[in-house]
Amino acid sequence: MVDHGSKGVNSKVYNLSLTWSWLPPMYCSWLYDRPAGWLATDIQHFRWNGSSWALCRDSGWLYNRSQSASNSWSWELGLACGNGWHGTNGGVYVKKDGQWKGGWVWSGAEYVIYNTIAGTRSSATEPAPPPPAWINADGTTDATKLPEKVDVVGTDGMPTGVTVNLKELVTAPALDSGNTPTDPAGVVRKYSTTTDENGQTHGVEDVTLTDAYRGRIDPRP
């Protein structure tokens, strides 16, 4: 999801590990803890430029650092990309049987006009733009429609002259990834637990990417 308030724009992605079983006449699911490095999340933040969605930031792949069943990621983007329509494409994957399982989900569009003095938000003055052409009706990503050339915009929302190939960015993590020894600057983690309806305790990581975090795509000077 994408939202904004007194500190500017926030992009948020949730990664939940579940196991499913068929118990006639229905499917049932349970939280399922995964080791450190087995939950992977990537946040891509876009801005509508009037005719298409341009990329503003890409966090790159980030992973859980403790055994957990749930990861939430919130990227404090501040005044990133300028005013207008914003959206997030979130990549969420879980490692299972030595393979990454998951995909990418679109947030929908959020209209952002940030008043740097009052810290207020305004309503949209124009209709919401359509989702990116590579997004399916259910919000998932159609990899066959990913463009090879997408503009990157700066903090003012204007083109930087740089383009990226989304076919190379909107993928699963590398198979040998996930075992990073330390976090980069700007990553703040909060660890907790939750108890499910069966009395089982599961790990939870709530992670904030502050303004100090520099992602894979980050046009700031």
Task: Indicate the domain borders of the chain.
Answer: 2-209
Compute the distance between CA of residue 189 and CA of residue 177 in angstroms, rounded to an integer: 19
pLDDT digit string (tens) for 191-208?
A: 998 887 778 888 888 999
Q: Could you tell me the pLDDT band of residue 163, with boundaries at 50, 70 and 90?
A: very high
pLDDT value, residue 22: 40
Closest CA to 1 of 139, 101, 184: 139
Q: Can you give the pTM of this predicted structure?
A: 0.84
Residue 215, Cβ density class (10 Å: 0-12 exposed, 13-18 middle, ≥19 buried): buried
Average pLDDT, the chain: 81
| Range of 34-38, 40-44, 144-148 with top mean pLDDT | 144-148
- Has residue 51 got a pLDDT over 90? yes
- Has residue 15 got a pLDDT over 60? no
Q: Could you tell me the pLDDT band of residue 119, with boundaries at 50, 70 and 90?
A: very low
Q: Which residue has tokens 């009706």?
A: 137
- Has residue 110 got a pLDDT over 50? yes
Compute the distance between CA of residue 36 and CA of residue 163 in angstroms, rounded to an integer: 33
pLDDT value, residue 118: 42
Q: Indicate the range of 16-30, 169-183, 186-200 predicted with least confidence.
A: 16-30
Q: What is the mean pLDDT of residues 60-64?
A: 90
Q: Indicate the range of 94-103, 114-123, 137-146 predicted with least confidence.
A: 114-123
pLDDT value, residue 95: 87
